[in-house]
Amino acid sequence: MNLSSLLSNHFDDHIETASRTLDALGTPLEVAIEVCFQALTNGSKVLACGNGGSAADSQHFVAELVGRFERERLPLAAVTLSADTSIMTAVGNDYGFDQVFSRQVAALGMPGDILLAISTSGNSGNVLQAIQTAHEREMAVIALTGRDGGKIGQMLYETDVHLCVPHHRTMRIQEMHILLLHLICDGIDALLLGEPQ
């Protein structure tokens, strides 16, 4: 086992994937920033969800909106749907795991709000149900996926934003997702505060 070549292959693949992601997703990423900016400055909010590493990513993103990213600004309205263990266990236990996010979207989501849905496969049942409920609530959806976008890619509306990372490995897709989420934060700050000095 040559660890050094294993690691260097990862770095090479990461860099190459970042470049392909910019080519593939630069335009929809700009749209995602505009959609978030419009909603957050119009009194609407972002609800974010995902499983496993994507649950952590949704919390990370929400923390940067409610707290701050790099510069001082007003707090922005965002809630993660994967952090409340009482809701997760009660809804999971009483209604099924597929409803742990959709139930919260039904409770909190208003027309004009945004659902930020994260799934590397695009096939997690609870994320699919959250998107369906968001559509019923007249919310816009920003979906972060990978591979071929899975079932999420097939259920999004034209007005939604799909950021599908062009890679097949979960780890690499997640690495690009956190980059995309940081760039959404930076883009929102640029629209709110102007270009960084």
Read out DSSP for 86-117? Answer: HHHHHHHHHT-GGGTTHHHHHHH--TT-EEEE
Q: Which does 80 bind (CB under 5 to 8 A by kind): Zn ion, ligand I22, none?
A: none
Query: What is the identity of the amino acid at 58?
Result: S
Which of positions 112-131 make contact with ligand I22 (CB under 6 A)? 119-121, 124, 127
- Nearer to Zn ion among residue 31 and residue 56 (C-beta): 56
How far is residue 50's CA from residue 174's CA, in Å, rounded to a whole number?
A: 11
* One-letter identity of residue 52: G
54 part of the interface to ligand I22, by CB under 6 A:
yes
182 known ligand binder: yes
Closer residue to ligand I22, CB minimum distance, 99 or 174 = 174
Question: Does 53 engage in binding with Zn ion (CB under 5 A)?
Answer: yes
Q: Which stretch binds Zn ion (CB under 5 A): 11-19, 51-59, 79-87, 93-101?
A: 51-59
Q: Please choose, from the candidates 61, 50, 196, the residue with its C-alpha nearest in 3D space to the C-alpha of residue 125.
A: 50
Closest CA to 135 of 152, 150, 118: 152
Interface with ligand I22 by CB under 6 A: which residues?
Answer: 51-54, 119-121, 124, 127, 170-171, 174
